[in-house]
Structure 1
Amino acid sequence: MTLTATKFTPEVMLSAPRRSPAEPNPSGKLAVFTASSYSFDDHKKTSQIRILDIDSGDSTTLVEESGTSDPVWLEDDEILHLKSGDNGSTTLVVRHVNSAEAASYEAGSIKAPISNVKVKKLANGTIAFACSALATPDGQLCNPETEKKPQSSAKVYTTLFVRHWDAWNTENCSSIFYGVLDHKDGKYSLRGDLVNALAGTRLSSPVPPFGGTGDFDIGPSGLVFVAKDPELNPALYTKTDLYYIPLKTFTEPTPPSPQMVKTPGLDGYSNNPVFSHCGHKVAFTRMRSNQYESDKTRLLLVPDITNPDKTEEFYATADGVGRWDSRPDAILWSHDDAKLYTTAEHRARTLIFQLPSTPSQATALPTPIPIPDGSVASFTHASSSSSSSSTQDGGGLFITTTSLIDNSCYSITHPSTSTNKLISSASKQGKTFGLSRSSIDSITFRGGAGGSDYDVHALVVRPSTFTTPTKKKYPLCMLIHGGPQGAWQDAWSSRWNPAVLAEQGYVVVCPNPTGSTGYGMALQDGIRGEWGGRPYNDLVACFEWVVENMPEVDGERAVALGASYGGFMINWIQGHPLGRKFKALVCHDGVFSTLNQWCTEELFFPIHDFEGALFENRAAYEKWDPARFVNEWATPQLIIHSELDYRLPITEGLAAFNVLQAKKVPSKLLMFPDENHWVLKHENSLVWHREVLGWINKYSGIEDEQKLAEQVEGLKVE
């Protein structure tokens, strides 16, 4: 599954193979991953499960069949994966990876869709199996394809949280199911029916809409998982707790009641629970605020999971702020359980940090370990045993990274020696796309207005044809990220890819202004009550710095694009002086009026960022309302919105478009009836890119340059 292109276009990006993180087998010689690609000629998606030879970096196709997913290792030469069947059923398939014909057999069948598979070999020789699936109100497996359909389409609600992300809520909920795989006569088989670990508890896990395998873990003594507090309305509060269910054999027909892990003073999101190798300890993260989805995560330890009333916090301080000004995320225990590895954002990258696994020994703040360019998407041990290597870190860490030029890279890093070994890059580190690291740069400038005491960082992506010195000037393309608590990273994206824009002939600048993550909590939290204040001033400062200090940039032909909060900022810019600096604007799923923020589903978001509910602090919502300044709107603008976007309903896009049209400002509306806050379908994404590029190229003058180049090329051919 390789692709080579002379120019990086939307078609190239969208049809290029997409690889999942790879998972090494116990010996560390092979790794399994999934890969998919899309053909715009056949209008079809191809899905594969592939096996990577870690020594050579070569991979082979194990199975190419639609509906296959979730491969996990059972043995050094066997994997289990899911295969979706008729009427929503799921088959557990076991395959021998070393067989020339990839011999396979069924290990069980489940009459419902399942996902997020995890397995754990137990001392008695069986393998504990856990997965997630929808459950009915009485705790049974739910199959949406076979459940009885009502005669009416009406939906009646009497409490908050009627819909989420892109779906209306129902009585069915996500749950964790468990069972065991027996091994007999050389084959694995699922024993009996799966058991709902959460039946009768009012708890739901993984937490929608994005919860997955990171929301639960299997240990030799049971399950740990995170779930929303059933006593608090999920529209108003972010609180999720960590729970432990003791299981001795994973064959218990009625699981014990979940035991909640106590974390005094911390009431926000809990995430990423991971058992230690010994099975007695659990590390996880938790936030303090129960109404701030982007609060700082704290790293915590449960020293003895059988005593969930006791937890210890790493880098704790008396004032509750914590000494480490970063947000730990994914967690991995070292082979001997003496160290923890955790990812965290750091200046436009996601890196891996190492620290002692006991809070009392974690006195020095962690520093990142060396990794290849880009950001970590996933990481695990290169082998399951420390004896597989003579190095202190037991064979090293197998990491999956992406970057602004590379959509998938597998490497092994050794924290003890600070060495990295490249195993495989899907794009040959960008070369198959015609991209290279020489196109990537960054700048730092003083943020805010007059006398600000903080710096702002921005990524810069130039065209692959750019050389220095150059007399040519390239139009500026400024990208404004969403969140607002988010950041542009040196990481791949198939939705907002700066390289696609740069290859059109722009110098793309991606600033991380006030509100951005990865630069400390002061910069991130500085956006509260300042939606159109500090971040806007940072963007003004960015524009001015670029024009004054980057001679290759043509500020007279600048364009700006943004989505979600970035879309809000496009509408805000439209009504303010910076809006007159741009030739064209693009607003994807943006906010037209902050007074409409209570049309969203997760109400804790506006409650936090606007410092209260609409009926408690209306002035804060009005202060940063883009609709207050529509009399100033004058720059040509493309509006994009989708009907399944329940985070920012489509009326926000329609209102902005209607204003632009009524004012006779050049404008266009692009609408997708089958997409949510993101445009994910390949064909829709291709239309999205063509419309976006067509719009900005028209007003920046690049369209005229492209036509001239085509005419010159035509003359050469003649």
Structure 2
Amino acid sequence: MLAHLAVFLVLLFSMTVRAAKFTPEVMLSAPRRSSGVPNSDGSRILYSVSTYSFENHGKKSEIRVLDAKSNESKLVTDAAGASEPQWLNDEDVLLLLPGQTNSTDIAVGKADAFEATKAIAGNFDGSGTSIRVKKISDDKWTFAITGLAKPDGTPYSAGKAPKKLSSGKLYKQTFVRHWDSYIAPERNAIFVGTITKPSSSAESGKLSYALSPLRNVLAGTGLESPVPTFGGIDHYDIGEDHIIFVAKEPTLKAGFSTKVNVYVANLYGTLAASDLIYQVLVPGFGGATTSPVFSKDGKKAAFLMMQEDGYEADKNQLFVIPDVRRPNWLLHLLNSTNGKGSWPLSPGGVSFSNNGDDLYLVAEDRGRTSIFTTPVNQPAESSPPKKIYSDGNVSDLRVLADGNIFISGTNIVDNSFYSILFPNLGTAKLISSNTENGKLVSLSRSQVADVYFKGAERDVQAFLLKPSNFDSDKKYPLAFLVHGGPQGAWEDAWSSRWNMAVFAEAGYVVFAPNPTGSTGFGQDFTDAIQGQWGGLPYKDLVAGYQWIEENLDYVDLDKTVALGASYGGYMMNWIQGHELGRKFKAIVCHDGVFSMVSQLASEEQWFPTHDLEGFYWNNEEKWLRWDPARFTGNWSTPQLVIHSELDYRLTIAEGLAAFNVLQARGVESQFLTFPDENHWVQKEENSLMWHTAVLNWINKFVGYPPYKAEDEAPGTVINH
């Protein structure tokens, strides 16, 4: 089977033929393209792309440049480890390459002849990432890179670190571990310098650029930026002479607080001035902060900040600093008299227009991630931001020199598209679709629909996916998917972990609802899950299943299965103990909560403390009210449990406990684990094993044949 698949994939990678069928192998092998980096007018786009081969069991990565007019791409470099390409001008490209002993080389070359012209401008003595480049003049740029720093502020290189004689780690406060790693003494930092172009060598043809010594802007401050674990380029920005960044409040225990401050520093003043870092004070706001950005001229700045400490899904509110030389002069845009903000949506990103008079906001909106615009000088309670783009999931936007907007995004059937938005015209033009709008992987937008049903307290949206060969005269089994978070949402977006189309193309009708607690439907709907984990969302799911019973006559109600991960995994365990669990023939629980008390072992303690309305010892009744373990006496539906060793968000004990209960009760069950995965399953071979186990499990209970025979599974199957 794989031999035939490999031949097809070679053709697929060249983007010249169509897949016969969308399968997990096709999804995992399809080229994964980064957000695009356009040149000044958007005529050429830099991007990185990686492709995994199940035939060779290896990954190939490239950096390429796409011609927007012809839609043809050209290789820039396929050097191992090359990353983060940026334009210095419309011809010269800067990118990162692995250096010696875990260092990072900063390389520059012509986009059209990179390998022939490249030269190393300088080196960062550590593993660098999240770079920013800001043009100062035709031959000078500010350059910033993030990486780990030792306690003394100098870059940390793992290859040069002395080996400890003991593996012991003594901690004096949280975090002990975060996401999938134990906390070490090193901290993230931002290193800044300049790149100059002194000359060009006609003899060698090599470019000549020079990187100045890099200075750790955070040295001696006790601050860390980007904020771990997922902070990156969205946690800082550089202007012509200032830097703006966010960092956790250093006086609070990290595991119990989400408070993140925003800071502004001068980069090129006197020694004394450049050492000064100003904290931007925001009275009444003590939550997380993100997306600090400068206007094009570097004179203004904007950022997003949450009001409530300890609530990671609070609404992001919008602030503008009209003059970065006066960082505590603030405008609170879209404000309201009650302090909660007049706009019900929560933006996830912000950018300035070229003239600095308008802001572009990226925000979840009813199952999409859309672009909105609002004036910088908007009165407090006036018109809400105007929606100017809503098609799929916008992952990145960049304002071009002519004021138009370059968009990178995905949707359910396309893992990467690039478009140009013309804000003044209210129209957009597609430049490139990685899958030709799903055509190359045998998917179509016509398979995807939005439906609404009456939930516990308001109408609830859901995505409905049908197989590409759907026949209205036939009946199909149902895959009922519950998303994680719980403050998250199913969106019109591509995923390589929970891809709705994989289940649709396996022969299922897919129902993916966004119940109470979901994001993108107004902050009140998101907030309503507090103290209601097994309450309102469960009622919404029951109502969604009832809607299916009453409206989808092509669904075979004797062949329905439920699947979910994280909070969705919690809900699988909760459903097991309640009436809805008897509706399904089988359940898949990935990284789910088994016992609420076990949440005390999680790293981010602010999360259960907020959602369960207080510390356990002060609020035991509310913690236990929604505890799935209380209802294990009702567990009877066959269940596959998946939980991995490096999941420090929900420890593996949760999965083992659920599996032990199922086994003790004689309920048909299986347990899948990965010792090298965290809360997600990201490695391609592991992901194929995940999909094989999941599809084999649910197929068994709806009468479909196995996706693969057990002896074809990429992992180890243990029968004893």
Answer yes or no: is the 8 Å Cα contact 1:409–1:426 preserved in 2: yes
The answer for the alignment partner of 2:398 in structure 1 is 380
Change (3 A) 1:253 1:432: farther
In structure 1, what is the Cα distance between the partners aligned to 2:218 and 2:42?
A: 35
Answer yes or no: is the 8 Å Cα contact 1:181–1:188 preserved in 2: no
The answer for the alignment partner of 1:292 in structure 2 is 311
Tell me the alpha carbon deviations over residues 232-272 of structure 1, each in whole angstroms, 9 at most, x when there is no partner: 111111000110111127x9699413100111111101110
State the 1:360 CA deviation: 3.0
State the 1:61 CA deviation: 1.2
In structure 2, what is the Cα distance between the partners aligned to 1:80 and 1:101?
A: 12
Q: 1:466 aligns with which of 467, 470, 495?
A: 470
Q: 2:117 aligns with which of 93, 99, 103?
A: 103
Q: Secondary structure at the match of 1:8?
A: coil
The answer for the alignment partner of 1:358 in structure 2 is 377
The answer for the alignment partner of 2:336 in structure 1 is 317
1:235 paired to 2:269: no
Q: 2:39 aligns with which of 7, 25, 28?
A: 25
State the 1:362 CA deviation: 7.9
1:304 paired to 2:318: no
Q: 2:217 aligns with which of 197, 200, 212?
A: 197
What amino acid is aligned across from residue 473 of structure 1 in structure 2? K
> Residues 236-635 of structure 1: matches in 2 within 5 Å?
236-248=256-268, 255-360=274-379, 363-371=382-390, 373-381=391-399, 383=400, 385-386=401-402, 394=403, 396-448=404-456, 452=457, 454-467=458-471, 470-635=472-637
In structure 2, what is the Cα distance between the partners aligned to 1:429 and 1:178?
A: 40
Change (3 A) 1:437 1:191: closer
The answer for the alignment partner of 1:711 in structure 2 is none
Answer yes or no: is the 8 Å Cα contact 1:343–1:352 preserved in 2: yes
Q: 1:153 aligns with which of 151, 163, 167?
A: 167
Q: Secondary structure at the match of 2:573?
A: helix
Answer yes or no: is the 8 Å Cα contact 2:77–2:115 preserved in 1: no
In structure 2, what is the Cα distance between the partners aligned to 1:313 and 1:438?
A: 42
In structure 2, what is the Cα distance between the partners aligned to 1:550 and 1:643?
A: 40
Answer yes or no: is the 8 Å Cα contact 1:356–1:362 preserved in 2: no
In structure 1, what is the Cα distance between the partners aligned to 2:115 and 2:597?
A: 61
State the 1:65 CA deviation: 2.0
- The more displaced of 168-177 and 91-100 is 91-100
Answer yes or no: is the 8 Å Cα contact 1:399–1:411 preserved in 2: yes
Tell me the alpha carbon deviations over residues 272-321 of structure 1, each in whole angstroms, 9 at most, x when there is no partner: 01101121110110000011000000011011111122211111112111
Q: 2:56 aligns with which of 36, 42, 52?
A: 42
Answer yes or no: is the 8 Å Cα contact 1:303–1:310 preserved in 2: yes
State the 1:101 CA deviation: 6.1
Answer yes or no: is the 8 Å Cα contact 1:561–1:586 preserved in 2: yes
Change (3 A) 1:75 1:361: farther
In structure 2, what is the Cα distance between the partners aligned to 1:419 and 1:322?
A: 29
In structure 2, what is the Cα distance between the partners aligned to 1:253 and 1:680?
A: 46
Q: Secondary structure at the match of 2:698?
A: helix
State the 1:123 CA deviation: 4.4
What amino acid is aligned across from residue 149 of structure 2 in structure 1? A
State the 1:651 CA deviation: 0.3
Change (3 A) 1:253 1:261: closer
State the 1:581 CA deviation: 0.3
TM-score, normalised with respect to structure 2: 0.94
Change (3 A) 1:701 1:218: same
In structure 1, what is the Cα distance between the partners aligned to 2:86 and 2:446?
A: 37
Tell me the alpha carbon deviations over residues 38-81 of structure 1, each in whole angstroms, 9 at most, x when there is no partner: 00010110110010111112111111122100111111101100
Answer yes or no: is the 8 Å Cα contact 1:226–1:241 preserved in 2: yes
Unaligned runs of 5+ in 2: 1-12, 201-206, 710-720
The answer for the alignment partner of 1:390 in structure 2 is none
- The more displaced of 208-217 and 276-285 is 276-285
Change (3 A) 1:218 1:574: same
What amino acid is aligned across from residue 23 of structure 1 in structure 2? V
Q: Secondary structure at the match of 2:361?
A: strand
Change (3 A) 1:300 1:265: same
In structure 2, what is the Cα distance between the partners aligned to 1:374 and 1:110?
A: 38
Unaligned runs of 5+ in 1: 387-393, 708-718
Answer yes or no: is the 8 Å Cα contact 1:179–1:190 preserved in 2: no
Q: Secondary structure at the match of 2:572?
A: helix
- The more displaced of 89-98 and 512-521 is 89-98
State the 1:103 CA deviation: 2.2
Q: Secondary structure at the match of 2:479?
A: strand
Tell me the alpha carbon deviations over residues 515-555 of structure 1, each in whole angstroms, 9 at most, x when there is no partner: 00000112111100000000001000000101110111112
In structure 2, what is the Cα distance between the partners aligned to 1:637 and 1:570?
A: 9
Q: Secondary structure at the match of 1:653?
A: helix
Change (3 A) 1:290 1:63: same
TM-score, normalised with respect to structure 1: 0.94
Change (3 A) 1:697 1:139: same
Provide the alpha-carbon RMSD of the alignment: 1.7
Tell me the alpha carbon deviations over residues 119-164 of structure 1, each in whole angstroms, 9 at most, x when there is no partner: 1011484210001000011111001222011011011112121110
Tell me the alpha carbon deviations over residues 690-709 of structure 1, each in whole angstroms, 9 at most, x when there is no partner: 000100011111228999xx
Q: How many residues align?
A: 689
State the 1:102 CA deviation: 4.9
State the 1:671 CA deviation: 0.5
In structure 2, what is the Cα distance between the partners aligned to 1:328 and 1:562?
A: 26
The answer for the alignment partner of 1:2 in structure 2 is 14
- The more displaced of 139-148 and 251-260 is 251-260
The answer for the alignment partner of 1:115 in structure 2 is 129
Answer yes or no: is the 8 Å Cα contact 1:58–1:424 preserved in 2: no
State the 1:100 CA deviation: 8.3
Q: Secondary structure at the match of 1:283?
A: strand
Identity of aligned residues (%): 47
Change (3 A) 1:89 1:580: same
State the 1:333 CA deviation: 1.0
Answer yes or no: is the 8 Å Cα contact 1:355–1:362 preserved in 2: no
In structure 2, what is the Cα distance between the partners aligned to 1:179 and 1:52?
A: 29
State the 1:471 CA deviation: 1.8
Tell me the alpha carbon deviations over residues 555-579 of structure 1, each in whole angstroms, 9 at most, x when there is no partner: 2110000000000000000000100
Answer yes or no: is the 8 Å Cα contact 1:2–1:17 preserved in 2: no
In structure 2, what is the Cα distance between the partners aligned to 1:97 and 1:524?
A: 45
> Residues 139-218 of structure 1: matches in 2 within 5 Å?
139-186=153-200, 187-218=207-238
In structure 2, what is the Cα distance between the partners aligned to 1:585 and 1:362?
A: 47
Q: Secondary structure at the match of 2:298?
A: coil
State the 1:111 CA deviation: 2.4
Answer yes or no: is the 8 Å Cα contact 2:696–2:706 preserved in 1: no
